[in-house]
Amino acid sequence: MLSDGRPEATLAYKLLHASWSLVFLQAAIACVGFAMLYSAANGSWEPWAQTQMYRFAAGFAIMLGVAVVDIRTWMRHAYTLYGLGIVLLLVVELYGVVGMGAQRWIDLGVITLQPSEPMKIFLILALARYFHGAALEDVRQPLFLLVATLIVAVPVLLVVKQPDLGTGAILAMIGAALFLLGGVPGWLFFAGGGLGLASLPVIWQFLHPYQKERVMIFLNPQSEPLGSGYHITQSKIALGSGGVFGKGFLEGSQSHLNFLPEKQTDFIFTMLAEEFGLVGALGLFFLYALVIVLGFVIAFRCRHQFGRLLALGVTTNFFLYTFINIAMVTGVVPVVGVPLPLVSYGGTAMLTIMFGFGLLMSAHIHRDVPVSRHGAVAED
């Protein structure tokens, strides 16, 4: 029995009242991913599509397990999970596996974990807990904002040091979004943005040579079409060659003749656009848009600030994954290692996204559960 006299929800009740519309959209997007990974392997389920299916199944189980846990439990352990994420980032710094010129992974034997991915969700949990119940006068206090800034800055700096500028930028954008949603005055964002622009010359001096090269290639991709600009040049060729209706499934010449690099991961959207054209690309856009809209609907139906901020944070993270990947392969932003959610091949990203969806569904299932205003978890 809950403190307000209502009977405690059973497991069956929670599963019945989960957002099955969200599950359907996830499955639809994942199936697009399976099909494209099958195509990337030239009509074979191995090595990518089959493994991705197993990962999605594991992620689905994780999502449901997370969803049925009381939202107040996630609130209680928000800082603990954030601390775990920081520890994992420190372990990467000391003992991480080096790959592609960066030290970003921990080899766990069964899976190679990239801690910066779950850190995105842990940061959302911590900020949602921190801003939960904060009054308007609280979020205007310098000390309050300083602590919130440190919560964001510590993981951002650890991730940028790996180096992983793209993920560090996403963590910073997630933090900025939750600051705004938490009630931080808008003028501070303009001041911060102006300070950031003014510090660009200083930041440029600390970038690694390959990061500077990516920026220069973004500004002029034709300067090295067979060198550093090869990825984005081939991506644009594939996008244009798809036309309106595409070349057909398994018929993409740029991808199947191996002109398109990383076709199973970062550039999988390009392969889809080549094979299914503008129509296929817009179809995937539509599925992603529905997920984002549904995430906002879930957030605004929450009656407590923690669940609302948590749902908005998870939805913002999903949007950033989607926007940055598509903007990257179309040449709108510099190339960074950001996967297309539920479509690109990758274990840590898949499980992290599904964990985030589990929290989103938990916010939906427990949207009417009473949560203490001042951060303490209400007793059942």
Task: Report domain extents, the chain.
Answer: 11-365
Sequence-ordered list of residues with C-beta below 8 angstroms from that of 279, at least 6 positions apart, any chain: 244, 245, 246
pLDDT of residue 224: 60
Taking the C-alpha atoms of residue 55 and residue 354, their distance in angstroms, rounded to an integer, is 10
pLDDT of residue 217: 65
pLDDT of residue 104: 82
Sequence-ordered list of residues with C-beta below 8 angstroms from that of 84, at least 6 positions apart, any chain: 122
Residue 144 Cα to chain centre, angstroms: 26
The 3-state DSSP class for residue 97 equals strand
pLDDT of residue 24: 96
**Do the beta carbons of residue 340 and residue 359 sit within 8 Å?**
no
CA distances from 319 to 110, 298, 346, 350 (A): 29, 15, 18, 15
Sequence-ordered list of residues with C-beta below 8 angstroms from that of 37, at least 6 positions apart, any chain: 48, 49, 52, 264, 268, 345
pLDDT of residue 4: 47
With tokens 């939960």, the residue in question is 132
pLDDT of residue 100: 60
Taking the C-alpha atoms of residue 320 and residue 225, their distance in angstroms, rounded to an integer, is 28
With tokens 């059973």, the residue in question is 10
Of 374, 379, 364, 368, which is closest to residue 310 (Cα–Cα)? 364
Listed in order, strand segments (DSSP E) in the chain are 97-99, 102-107, 112-113
pLDDT of residue 211: 67
Taking the C-alpha atoms of residue 206 and residue 111, their distance in angstroms, rounded to an integer, is 32
Spell out, as residue ranges, where the chain has pLDDT lower than 70.
1-8, 99-102, 200, 204-206, 208, 210-211, 213-214, 216-229, 373-380
How many CA atoms lie within 13 Å of 292's alpha carbon, on the beta-carbon side?
15
pLDDT of residue 210: 64
Angle at 321 (CA atoms; ends 282, 107), nearest 5 degrees: 130
**pTM score, whole prediction:** 0.90
Which one-letter DSSP state was computed for residue 6?
P
